[in-house]
Amino acid sequence: MKYSLVFLFVWVCSSIETAAYAQKLSIEIYNKTGITLDSIQLDSLYVGQLLNDSSAVVTGLYEFKHSGSWPLIGLKAVDPSGTVLKNIAHCGTKAISAKDGHHVFDIILKNRPAYPYLELIVHK
């Protein structure tokens, strides 16, 4: 019983610490693709559906890295035809961690002939 209480205390303290860190960082994403995106994932967080020209605020990330104005965040979504769209990873050399603040990005669709992909850019 004594060990159970110690474990419970440690678990509660670590959960509170994690929640406190997660609340320091928020990311607002705007869908500027011209289409509705479904099953959006930002890194490991499920965002859901985002209509064109609408936005969502994502909390729950501890940090993300960026290189200058390029956010280095994993992004995946499904377009109306069922095609899975992803972003292309940018070079993370000299990447800086962001652990707090409110960051705002646009999701745009790049239409390469053989490979359409998503890109996150600083909100305009």
pLDDT digits (tens, 9 = 90+) for 46-85: 999 999 999 999 998 888 888 877 888 899 999 999 999 9
Boundaries of every domain in the chain: 2-122
Report the alpha-carbon angle 57-59-64, nearest 5. 105
Give me the phi and psi of 52, to 5 degrees please.
-60, 140
Q: What is the mean pLDDT of the chain?
A: 83
pTM of the model as a whole: 0.77
pLDDT tens per residue, range 93-105: 788 888 999 999 9
Considering the domain 2-122 in this protein, what is its CATH number? 2.60.40.2890
Q: Can you read off the two tokens belonging to residue 9?
A: 């205390």
